[in-house]
Amino acid sequence: MSRIGKQPVSVPSGVNVDLAGQEVKVKGPKGALSLVLVDEIEATREDGKILIRPRHESRRGRAMWGLQRTLVNNMIRGVIDGYTETLEINGVGYRAAVQGKDLVLTLGYSHEIRYPIPEGITIKTASPTNIQISGVDKREVGQVAAEVRSYRKPEPYKGKGIKYAAEKILRKEGKKK
């Protein structure tokens, strides 16, 4: 039995959840999301809550149970509050700016990097060294943050690069004379 999968997903007021076969559509104040559940899982609505259960006692059904419940819960949280990821840039001359529909990064290369902002994602730069990525889809926000971070990962000697705000960089000692 899945400890996470057994818990019902509560649907707060202001959120509309539509169950049509294997498709779950969620609409809220910040936007709309949809998900197609795997065939081994079924979703039902009872008392204003959504219950996720495996159709059969198969190994894959038990494996997907908690995952599908978490994905539905993340969709409901996303259309209510949204998700935000903050990145910090460290390094002399490293900076970021939003120009139109692109994020322009200057990271010590011979050229600036232009990252096209995907649909449904908003990127703000409060300062040239802070990037705030937000949206309703948790997976998409995390993916965009990972792609931006991959342009210049933090290095272990001086800590230069792009890092998550909550990330701790393990620093190495330099050469000894």
What's the pLDDT at 1? 67
Residue 176 lies in a domain: no
What's the pLDDT at 114? 96
Answer yes or no: do 7 and 47 share one domain.
yes
As averages over each run of 10 residues, the pLDDT of the chain (177 residues) reads: 86 92 93 93 91 90 92 95 95 94 95 95 95 96 96 93 92 84
Residue 173 lies in a domain: no
Residue 38 and residue 41: Cα distance in Å, rounded? 6
* Total of domains in the chain: 2
H/E run at residue 43: strand 41-46
Task: Identify the domain containing residue 22 by its residue range.
Answer: 3-80
Residue 5 and residue 79: Cα distance in Å, rounded? 21
Residue 128 lies in a domain: yes
What's the pLDDT at 56? 87
Residue 169 lies in a domain: no
Task: Kindly report the CATH number assigned to the domain that includes residue 74.
Answer: 3.90.930.12
Supply 45's token pair. Answer: 């609505």
Residue 175 lies in a domain: no
Residue partners of 75: CB distance under 8 A and separation at least 6: 24, 26, 33, 35, 137
pTM of the model: 0.88
Residue 76 lies in a domain: yes
Answer yes or no: do 58 and 107 share one domain.
no
Answer yes or no: do 73 and 122 share one domain.
no
Answer yes or no: do 11 and 30 share one domain.
yes
